[in-house]
Amino acid sequence: MRANLEPIPANKYRLLKVDKEAEIRPFVDSHPGVTYERGACYYQLGARAQVQSNKEVIVVEKDTDRAYTGDAARSLLFGTGIQGAVSVKAGNNPKLEVYVQSRSVNRKLKPKTRLLIML
């Protein structure tokens, strides 16, 4: 599967640790060097969540923090040929973290997760 994943250059994204529950926009704006842009933030998937199939998905290797996207990343979550919203849960692959695109300005970020920001 990894051979089909599209790598994202390390200088094109940043991972931020979320220590306490926070709304996405003020959380991002509180970090130097980044500004909130709608659609450029990806929250770490934790518990089960409904994810629309039109949302972009990024997977991150836990050991290296390398990020990947593309159709192979989507199929890790949604399978192939799936349309509409899908109920998904992280944790199927212990070596990967799953990040889902957020287009909300007030999404609540969960503590002990990370937020991926495209630069």
For the ranges 4-8, 19-23, 68-72, the maximum mean pLDDT occurs at 19-23
> Domain residue spans in the chain?
2-118
| CA–centroid distance for 33 within its chain | 19
Give pLDDT, residue 5. Answer: 85
Does the pLDDT of residue 78 top 60, yes or no? Answer: yes
How many other β-carbons are positioned within 10 Å of the β-carbon of residue 57? Answer: 24
Residues 97, 36: Cα–Cα separation, whole Å: 22
Full DSSP string of 71-94: HHHHHHHH-SS--S-EEE-S-SST
Q: Confidence band (pLDDT; 50, 70, 90) for 1? A: very low
pTM, two decimals, is 0.88
User: How far, in Å, CA of 89 to CA of 78, rounded?
Assistant: 10
Is pLDDT of 19 > 70? yes
Amino acid 12: pLDDT:
97
